[in-house]
Structure 1
Amino acid sequence: MELTRRHALAGAAALAAAPMLRAMPARAAAPMADKQAPSFYRYKVGDAQVNVISDGVNNFNLPDTFVLNVKKDEVNAALEKAHMPKDKMSIQFAPLVINTGGKLVVIDTGNGPAAYASSKGNVGQFATNMAAAGFDPKAIDMVVISHFHGDHVNGLLNAEGGPAFPNAEVLVPAAEYKYWMDDGEMSRASGDRMTGLFKNNRRVFEAGLKKKVTPYEWGKDIAPGLMAVESIGHTPGHTSYVLSSGSDKVFIQSDVTNLPALFVANPGWHLMFDQDPQLAEKTRRKVYDMLAADKMRVQGFHYPFPAVGYVEKDGNGYRMIPAPWSPVI
């Protein structure tokens, strides 16, 4: 459009009136909100429905040894490249409720009610967000656990220390259960973190659930359309899953990787929480080569919410591409 003298004069008049507009009192339509809406997201895999239920976000200062085999400066550079603040870490948690059409299946349970209280609601949100999504914990048929870290098992118990899903069968990886319930392994544990994990797992599975669990093996369907897949390294019995319905499927990777900006992009980086870092790297590369080749959707427990997307090769590493958000299911 051609700029004329009349347009220029009109613009100058508008600028001159601007100070008078600023002097007018502001009238807010409503007070500022003080909390987020409940965080859940649904999508279909064939006839099954996946409900991603956020357990919140843990924010903490970046430890010097968060990545064991890389200097902190390199980690900070990767964070800044991903537009994240350096020296800070934000880890998200995304348990699932899967409606197979005949069963309601929970996969992993988040940090639990004690963490909700101590973090002032930052984590431990699974129970409240699950209720907001319309699920009654008494209606859950099966709870499937991928591995025995606190952010996956603590939500098995309610605030009173009893079962949070009173009518559900609790299924656990046989290799994982054997390791953490072995008195000899517990006696050989060293360091505050490992001794704490053994103590916490005894609290959850022996005192809380009173050993009422069903161990499962890899390579088999443990729920309708849900096959357990060995993905060890993060822990001795760490398990992922393939959910299939018709010709559609999604790979539920549990903790094959942590924060994608660090460990998807750099599969050779060793996370401080991986019990066997070399084996975890081997598993990570094998899984991601398969996902990239098959162009299969992947659901990640620590991916940014709603934590579902695709992985493709990118140089010596990989790149996580979020699945398009859909307003309809």
Structure 2
Amino acid sequence: MRAERRTLFAGSAAFATALALPAAAQAPAAAPAAAQQAPGFYRFKLGGFTVTTVHDGFFRRPVEGFVRNAPTADVQALLAEQGMPQDTLTVPFTITFVETPRGLIVFDAGTGAQMAPTAGMLAANMRAAGLDAARVNAVVVSHFHGDHITGLTTAQNEVVFPNAEIIVPAAEWAFWTDEGNAARAPEGQRGTFANTTRRFAPYRARIRQVEDGAEVLPGIRAVAAHGHTPGHTLYHVADGDAQMMYLADITNRPEVNARRPDWQIVFDMDGDAAAAARRRIMDRVSSERMRVTGYHFPFPSNGMMVRDGQGYRFAPADWSGVV
């Protein structure tokens, strides 16, 4: 970030005097470096709706082993082409809120400060953005991986969204609430069964299952994108002619999955289905020039997908100082 210094002089005499001073005497004392960044939230309008993306942090993982059906060298070459590190991949968590005339909605719930020391910033950034968890009247869940549902409750299992209805994809609910499916889940994801039970239990009376294609709330429709998980679901948001797609995990980092849609990552439960869904959704949002937000996109996760060769590229929207 480029710092700008502006010094106001009362007249030419003061200016000449200042030029004559030694550099050390002219320079103001340096402020100590801040330990924290500015609050991580960003707003934009979608018709009459206000969308706020909120940063929950990130985690890092090795590039090696991230893509299952491509050599690590190919993944590293793609990252290098885009100026990204080749050994470690930083995976952000970005939560999308939508303020509608009928109330405040959030898509997914974040990590709850319980998954990585570099994650768990949602609560602080919500406060900075003026978003009160008690005002959220619906949590709309894309799928049940831990980084999307752990933030439903605190480490003490207290509810985070006390007045919210919890809306979940029916196919996702059916899979993860049946322990008999454990053998069908990758070994590294089998903990999702217990985490599903734990995180949803305090909301049990307020859970509503929705089918693929259903209008889950006015202006919000479920879009099936199964493969990443058995019921992975995106959400189309529209107000009048304005529309956007909450992409959830249709890609992880778009610099990898969008550029190479057929690459299957370690978190995809059905890699072939995930790749097919990715192409179908990328075709739609790029053809319709639809605004998107994505859970693992670089913050503030607001822009469009455009075709780029055999794949797609994320084009960030212009930053605006006003909503």
One-letter amino acid matched to 1:36: Q
For structure 1, the 5+ residue unaligned runs are 1-19
Corresponding residue number in structure 1 for 2:238: 244
Residues of 2 paired with 1:266 and 1:88: CA distance? Answer: 18
Of 201, 225, 241, the match for 2:196: 201
* 1:301 alignment partner, SS class: coil
Alignment pair present for 1:279 and 2:273: yes
1:29 Cα deviation from its structure 2 partner:
3.9
Residues of 2 paired with 1:226 and 1:308: CA distance? Answer: 18
Aligned identity (percent) is 39
- Alignment: residue pair count: 303
Corresponding residue number in structure 1 for 2:18: none
Contact 1:111 1:123 in 2 (8 A): yes
Residues of 1 paired with 2:149 and 2:313: CA distance? Answer: 29
For structure 2, the 5+ residue unaligned runs are 1-20
Question: Cα deviations across residues 50-93 of structure 1 (Å, max 9, x unaligned)?
Answer: 1101111212332x321001111111111111111111110011
Please report the TM-score for the alignment, with normalisation by the length of structure 1: 0.87
Call closer, same or farther: CA 1:263–1:191 in 2, change over 3 Å: closer
1:98 Cα deviation from its structure 2 partner:
0.8
Contact 2:219 2:239 in 1 (8 A): yes
Corresponding residue number in structure 1 for 2:56: 55
Quote the RMSD (CA, aligned, Å): 1.8
1:199 Cα deviation from its structure 2 partner:
2.1
Contact 1:55 1:95 in 2 (8 A): yes
Corresponding residue number in structure 2 for 1:72: 72
Question: Cα deviations across residues 247-278 of structure 1 (Å, max 9, x unaligned)?
Answer: 11001111111101111111111111011000
Please report the TM-score for the alignment, with normalisation by the length of structure 2: 0.89
1:225 Cα deviation from its structure 2 partner:
0.8
Q: How do 1:260-299 and structure 2 match up within 5 A?
A: 260-299=254-293
Residues of 1 paired with 2:230 and 2:186: CA distance? Answer: 17
Residues of 1 paired with 2:135 and 2:219: CA distance? Answer: 19
Residues of 2 paired with 1:269 and 1:22: CA distance? Answer: 55
Question: Cα deviations across residues 156-188 of structure 1 (Å, max 9, x unaligned)?
Answer: 0023211110111111111100100012113x2
Residues of 1 paired with 2:230 and 2:61: CA distance? Answer: 26
Corresponding residue number in structure 2 for 1:185: 181
Alignment pair present for 1:138 and 2:134: yes
One-letter amino acid matched to 2:263: W
Contact 1:98 1:106 in 2 (8 A): yes
Corresponding residue number in structure 2 for 1:101: 101
1:212 Cα deviation from its structure 2 partner:
4.0
